[in-house]
Amino acid sequence: MLIKQVRFILIIVFYCFCDLSYSQNYPVYNHFYQNPYLYNPAEAGTFLRSVIFFNHRQQWRGVDGAPVVSTLSFHTPFNRSNAAIGLNVSSFQRGLLSTTDAMISYNYAIPLQEEVFLKIGFSTGIISNSLDLSQVDNPDDPALSTFLNNNIQLAGNFGLKFQSDGLNLGLVLPRLLQPTFVNEANFNALEVGPFDEVLLMAYYKKKVEGYLKTKRKGRTKFTKKVDAKYAPLELHFLYRYSKIGANQFEALAKLNLGEQFWLGASYRQNYGVVGNVGFTYNGFALAYAYEPASKLVAGPLDGSHEVQLSLRFGKRVEPKVKKVKPQQVQPAKDKEPQHRARFQFYDDQNAAKDAFKDKGEKKYIVSVKSFKDFSAADAYKLNMKKRGLSAKIYFQESSQTFHVYFFDAIKLKDAKKEQKRISKNRRFRNAKVITL
């Protein structure tokens, strides 16, 4: 009977997705590193611009009934509200069985410190399963009745993300609403809890440091801060915990060869190595991944091909950050006001000094303005940030001075070269090199 063939195909799919057939349409994506929102609703708005992704995965190309996954997702941040929304629609076809889901998402970023956030996200929607009964010899089979009774259900997931200076940690509960699923191997109903499956995510992508660039507008020269564009190396890690299936880990490394081209490779437990390549231009990106056929399935099968298209558009929306108010370091009114100010700033001062400690070697900064009071230095720093310049503050203990600077270097000649270039701008004509 054809129903046996259906079950055979679904059993193969069951193994190929590491028991993920129990989940709420939770297939494997090789391009999760480009769009982590595929797994975690807390990742909506992570690019600080509106973005749309189309992902298509073809497994075992040329084999009739082989799994095919197509996903369309969109997410965007709200204007300066630290919130974001998203939409994810996917179609998962394998053999005679098709699953379609549509989920909407919302998340909010809580600022913990400057440039440190905790994001909380939720998704909700529906999942619909269908079976092509026209190709089944016995549509009255009781097993099919069990399946059809669970073909449309509410679904939801929950995600957390901690973000700090290139480090991103995530936790996802993909089955928040405890739906009833059908085991595709035997069509028996199965109820799962919100903690029966957990996804842990971690990735590190530290962008190269920004730099100052001198531009000319008419007869006027001005210096503008050019933001970092890309991270030379990205590292990604996934771990899937499943109470009813097999646990699985995955690791990926992505090498960005400039701003427009990258190469990558990943390893998925029980499956092997996956190769990735892609390029981006003016907000558009194209990525391709090839995954050799799994060793879990015998036979002359071709590997999996996956293509992703994406487009970023709209204005960049910077989130609100938590700032330290200047009054937190106000000097005492009764005695030694300057000493009191230095004491209050001591923790930040140590953090600044520690950033330059490296086997006792000298470091140099190019100070654009100096102050005796921290509040004035901090106000100047914030004013520079409004002009697009990312400045820092260093406290020089010997002179009891707070220096605002944009540039630091290990070699004195590099610092002097930058000081000479910055000094051409009238605003920073008094820039000087400070030895740390």
Which is more confident, 127 or 66? 127
Q: Where are the beta strands (DSSP E) in 42-151?
A: 50-58, 68-77, 83-94, 97-113, 116-131
pLDDT of amino acid 75: 96
Q: How confident is the model at residue 104 (pLDDT cuts 50, 70, 90)?
A: very high
In whole angstroms, what is the distance from residue 176 CA to residue 127 CA?
Answer: 13
In whole angstroms, what is the distance from residue 270 CA to residue 300 CA?
Answer: 18
How distant, in Å, are the alpha carbons of 109, 264, 328, 376 from that of 26?
A: 25, 23, 48, 53
Main-chain phi, psi angles of 412, to 5 degrees: -65, -40
Which is more confident, 201 or 182? 201
Reported as type and span, the H/E element at residue 214 is strand 211-217
pLDDT of amino acid 6: 44
Q: Are strands 189-191 and 116-131 parallel, antiparallel or unpaired?
A: unpaired
Q: Which of 2-6, 214-218, 287-291, 407-411 has the lowest mean pLDDT?
A: 2-6
Angle, nearest 10°, between helix axes 337-344 and 346-354?
Answer: 50
In whole angstroms, what is the distance from residue 253 CA to residue 275 CA?
Answer: 10
In whole angstroms, what is the distance from residue 235 CA to residue 202 CA?
Answer: 8
Q: How confident is the model at residue 339 (pLDDT cuts 50, 70, 90)?
A: very low
pLDDT of amino acid 179: 60
pLDDT of amino acid 18: 36
In whole angstroms, what is the distance from residue 105 CA to residue 83 CA?
Answer: 11
pLDDT, tens digit, for every residue of 147-165?
555 578 888 999 999 999 8
Which residues are bridge partners to 101 per DSSP?
90, 127
Nearest Cα residue to 13 out of 71, 97, 91, 90: 97
pLDDT of amino acid 352: 47
Which residues are bridge partners to 364 per DSSP?
409, 435
On the question of pLDDT at 264 being above 90, the answer is yes
Q: Are strands 272-281 and 261-268 parallel, antiparallel or unpaired?
A: antiparallel
Interval 283-305 mean pLDDT: 78
On the question of pLDDT at 341 being above 50, the answer is no
In whole angstroms, what is the distance from residue 255 CA to residue 284 CA?
Answer: 18
